[in-house]
Every structure is written in C-alpha cells, then in structure tokens.
Structure 1
Amino acid sequence: MNIKANHRQPPNLFFEIVKGLGANKLTSALLVVIFASSLTVVQVTHLARGQLIEQDSLLQERDELDLEWRYLLVEEEFYSQHARIEEIAKSQLKMKRPTSQDEQVIILQ
C-alpha cells in the first residue's frame, strides 16, 4: 500500500502549466500578447539599427562629396585666374595684346 505512494512520479510540469493556462483564458491571451509584443520590440530595434547604419553611411558619403566639391571650387578658381590664362595664351598659343594700330573700327549703319 505505502510502497505505491513512495514511488509515485511527480506530475509533468509542462502539462500542469498548459492545464493551468487552459483553465484561465485571460492569462493565456495576455501571455500571447506579451510574446507578440516582445517579438515586435526586437524587430523594431533591428530595423532602427539598420536605419542608423544607413544614415551613418549616407552622412559619410555627404562629407566626401562636400570635400570633393570644395576641391573642385579651388581648382576652378585656379584655372580661371586671369594671369594664368594670359600666360597660357602668350606661351602656348603665341597670342599678344593688340596695339592701337592693329585695331580696326567698323561702323554699322
């Protein structure tokens, strides 16, 4: 008689939890909502980190383009200096300033 009571196996905990949740529908519904909410938080956090990484790369690209634009402005200023243009015209193109005797006036009527 007593031998059976001493060798009794404890109830399976998982089945006891499921029975308890099945008995109380509100607790089951709240458990599902909490689980869904936690998965949503993980997903939103993942997406936010992805967007922050993309924002950092776009900011870095913007800085590189801004630096390149500044270099181009300096280069444009260098190539548009009148003294440099005049020097190239004299040395490479063999040009010279016209004198007053080389000028011709045309009158249109």
Structure 2
Amino acid sequence: MKKHQRQPKLFLEICQLLLANKLTFVLLALTLGSALAVVQVTHLTRQQLIEQDKLLQKRDELDLEWRYLLVEEEFYSQHARIEEVARTQLQMKRPTSKEEQVIVLP
C-alpha cells in the first residue's frame, strides 16, 4: 500500500516547472546573478568609502603636521637671520668662557 502524501513536494514541482519553461529559468538565473552583483558592488563601494575616509583623515593629520613644521622653520630661520645680521653688520660674536663675567648681587 502506498502512503498518501498530503503535501506535494513544492521544491520538486517548482524545479519541474522551471525546466519546462526554459525562458523563465534563464530569467530567474539572470535576476539572481544581478542581485548578487549588486550586493558585491555595494560591499566594494563601502570598503572604498571607508578607505577614502581613512586617507582623508591621514591627509588632514599630515597637513596639520606640515603647518607646525612651517611655523618651526619660520622660528628657526628668524633666529638664524638675527644671528647672521649680528655677526656681519655688528661684528658680534659669542663670548668664550674666559670672556664671561659672573656678577653676584647681594
């Protein structure tokens, strides 16, 4: 005696219908492929945006460091210029330890 199945095997019936109508099967496969491609492209785009944000942050940090270096360079160039003017125009020189005098105040 055969067992009577109350519920048909839905997956098998769908597969049989899709194989019977090949155009529908091709369109379904293309739709699934397109959906997977959209997911992949979205994922890659998000990764690129994250990388871009990191690079922009690094650029801002480097720009800030560059500005600090410019200020530091300006500071040292002024000191060197003052020292050069003192040596050339005023004939000044650094005193040696023998030329130094210590004054003690009571």
Using the size of structure 2 for normalisation, the TM-score is 0.72
Q: Which residue of 2 aligns with 1:79?
A: 76
Distance in 2 (CA, whole Å) between partners of 1:83 and 1:25 is: 85
**Greater radius of gyration (CA):** 1
Q: Which residue of 1 aligns with 2:24?
A: 27
Letter in 2 for 1:12: K
Distance in 2 (CA, whole Å) between partners of 1:34 and 1:56 is: 33
Aligned length: 89
Distance in 1 (CA, whole Å) between partners of 2:30 and 2:79 is: 75
Runs of 4+ off more than 6 Å: none
Superposition CA RMSD, Å: 2.6
Using the size of structure 1 for normalisation, the TM-score is 0.70
Query: What does the per-residue CA deviation read over 1:39-88, in whole Å, with 9 as the maximum and x for residues that have no partner?
Result: 100100010001001000100010001000000110011111158742x9
Instruction: Give identity over the alignment, percent.
Output: 66
Structure 2: gaps spanning 5 or more residues: 93-106
Distance in 1 (CA, whole Å) between partners of 2:25 and 2:74 is: 73
Structure 1: gaps spanning 5 or more residues: 100-109
Tell me the CA shift for residue 98 of structure 1.
Answer: 2.9
Q: Which residue of 2 aligns with 1:98?
A: 91
CA contact (8 A) 1:22 1:28 kept: yes
